Structure 1
């Protein structure tokens, strides 16, 4: 019999103190960064956890003190009537209804080492997968077993299940997303996928929450081996908030595999406020700007290394959209980002 060890919890309330919120907050239109180059990163004092075993049982890397019921939010310049990504993708009804080729770029380039686990993934998941690349790398395969992987914006869970295979039954693959419809599809197949991989227990978990609220999802500081994201972070109004939390939760020498759509020049406010363009992943930051944000949010005592795994020009395949974006060229890039200790003798220990 396969046991389901999944815990899904959105609203928190586990910690007796909300002081963890001081780690990340928003004032005016800017995002206050987490402890960075000239600050120390540590678990706040005075936080006491309730002893609720249901919240942490069988969930490596999870801590109830990482969650707060006071979810911080970023202010946005979007029009009040704007269609949110959550609504857009909940209503889309499958990737065949996408209006451009951006969120389906490179779907035919499945790496050979992923083809075996991919063949076991149900068609319903594949039909509801939106991505511009494959946030994986052969360099990670040697030390993948028993790792903790977190997928930001996991959708219907395809990449979570691919990682669930790569990390083995002793590892864990966690997905975070805001779409109820997408998560319902992902969770429907947890036990089936465990059985398909020959596991006695499910090693996947799905959390309904915003990526911007990553710091409050209960994941321990310095506990994650790999963060991954596939064509999602360009949708965020405050990517720097995600980066701050992600790099704090990532282990020393941990890796981020980021696949996303990047314009070759900054996009206009007109593009950012166009529902179709924004939700089709065409209103995000350039790679140069994204890289600068990542470097700025790196915790004190660490630096980032970057390796481009793939970069392909995107064919939008929609004349009306091409007219709207005019002379902007978009690229699907997959980047390997490693968090390296500046002094290897003083690497952080998990909180």
Structure 2
């Protein structure tokens, strides 16, 4: 199933996986109630008020036909150009269009015409609802493995997001490579997806329902680290994770001892070779995180507090849209340093999910930024 070719166009070959996924999301699923696992309905922490209000303005039909996992909302969005991979019926696009404002833009790409039809039907409705004079959202039919072939220009997006979609692709390295190509320098791929505890056997990978439910195509989480490096991204930063349960006994029997987790990672397109740590001071200014900003599971920055960060984070903070929100200086350059040492090391998302579950935290949106941020995309 994962390698069966069915048709080619413009240099990209559609596989039988794409055909099966189109059928599953275009015909088989009509509402979220039709899902047979909670892989695409992972629990989340309470949603920040301004995001909750933005979601309330999304048309009910758009929300009902949306099948993403978690809530993918990175920080600092005003004026940004965002691309949503596998945008489906457009719920996240319409929510994000409010946060980027009229000077920003959101593009959704999806291969399923039925989903796009729902999304496009309500463009005028949402622009009127948001009070925008002209649309700041558009939708493109195409494959997430072939973004440039779909007409999306290289080096043009500040942020690429994806919500439980990368696992549906049979060629995940190509998805990451295409996302890297369309991102501007300093841009970010911020996405929530499903990962497995080990590489999956063909019996699971070729099961149509398990693939459609976002389990059969799940990457072993360690493979994500390798693929990201091969493509050129900075090492993935794990933001949050939550355990996925499968209540369907028939499907669980097929899955056996394999475990799954919903995890949110952030990957940046930044220069290589930075090996210097630095002390950072979070200046505040991010809506929803004015006093405390959770960057990932290692670093939560409190406003006006000096924190020493590792070289990777130092490079991200000085080459991305977060630059104006942070003051960076060489280690030892401040007498007010809290003395905290940089936090390094790979984090197992299963370990983090268990830790958060014990703390009663579940998953999270990873912190968000609304239209009042002082350092967003211009």
TM-score (norm 2): 0.67
Q: CA deviation at 1:210?
A: 1.2
2:94, 2:235 → 1: CA distance? 27
Alignment partner, residue 122 of structure 1: 59
Q: CA deviation at 1:329?
A: 1.1
1:151, 1:160 → 2: CA distance? 7
Give the conservation status (yes or no) of the 8 Å contact 1:134–1:334: no
Alpha carbons of structure 1 residues 233 and 264: separation in structure 2 relative to 1, 3 Å: same
* Structure 2 residue 269 is the aligned partner of structure 1 residue 332: no
Q: CA deviation at 1:286?
A: 1.4
* Structure 2 residue 108 is the aligned partner of structure 1 residue 171: no
1:108, 1:179 → 2: CA distance? 30
Q: Over residues 122-163 of structure 1, what are the superposed CA-to-partner deviations in whole Å (9 max), with x where a residue is unaligned?
A: 1111111111111223xx22xx22211000000000111111
Matches within 5 A, 1:67-146: 70-73=10-13, 84-91=20-27, 92-106=29-43, 109-137=46-74, 140-141=75-76, 144-146=77-79
Q: CA deviation at 1:191?
A: 1.0
Q: How many residues were matched structurally? A: 268
Give the conservation status (yes or no) of the 8 Å contact 2:144–2:178: no
Alpha carbons of structure 1 residues 83 and 201: separation in structure 2 relative to 1, 3 Å: closer
**Which residue of 157, 176, 180 corresponds with 1:243?**
176
Alpha carbons of structure 1 residues 156 and 109: separation in structure 2 relative to 1, 3 Å: farther
Structure 1 gap segments, 5+ residues each = 1-28, 30-67
Alignment partner, residue 294 of structure 2: none
Q: CA deviation at 1:322?
A: 1.2
1:251, 1:286 → 2: CA distance? 28
Instruction: Report 1 or 2 for greater relative contact order, CA contacts < 8 Å, sequence distance ≥ 6.
Output: 1
**Which residue of 124, 135, 138 corresponds with 1:191?**
124
2:167, 2:125 → 1: CA distance? 32
Q: Over residues 189-244 of structure 1, what are the superposed CA-to-partner deviations in whole Å (9 max), with x where a residue is unaligned?
A: 11111111111011000001111111212222211100000001101111111111
**Which residue of 133, 142, 152 corresponds with 1:209?**
142
Alignment partner, residue 342 of structure 1: 272
Alpha carbons of structure 1 residues 343 and 145: separation in structure 2 relative to 1, 3 Å: farther
Structure 2 gap segments, 5+ residues each = 275-314, 320-378
Q: CA deviation at 1:274?
A: 0.7
State the Cα RMSD in Å.
2.3
What's the secondary structure of 1:212's corresponding residue?
A: coil
* Structure 2 residue 213 is the aligned partner of structure 1 residue 280: yes
2:133, 2:160 → 1: CA distance? 25
What's the secondary structure of 1:308's corresponding residue?
A: strand
Q: CA deviation at 1:179?
A: 1.0
Alignment partner, residue 40 of structure 1: none
Alpha carbons of structure 1 residues 315 and 110: separation in structure 2 relative to 1, 3 Å: farther
Q: CA deviation at 1:75?
A: 5.9
Alignment partner, residue 51 of structure 1: none
Alignment partner, residue 186 of structure 2: 253
Alignment partner, residue 323 of structure 2: none
Matches within 5 A, 1:23-38: none
TM-score (norm 1): 0.72
Deviating runs (4+, > 4 A) in structure 1? none
What's the secondary structure of 1:166's corresponding residue?
A: helix
Give the conservation status (yes or no) of the 8 Å contact 1:306–1:335: yes
Q: Over residues 74-108 of structure 1, what are the superposed CA-to-partner deviations in whole Å (9 max), with x where a residue is unaligned?
A: 667x6xxx961011111111111011111111267
Give the conservation status (yes or no) of the 8 Å contact 1:73–1:212: no
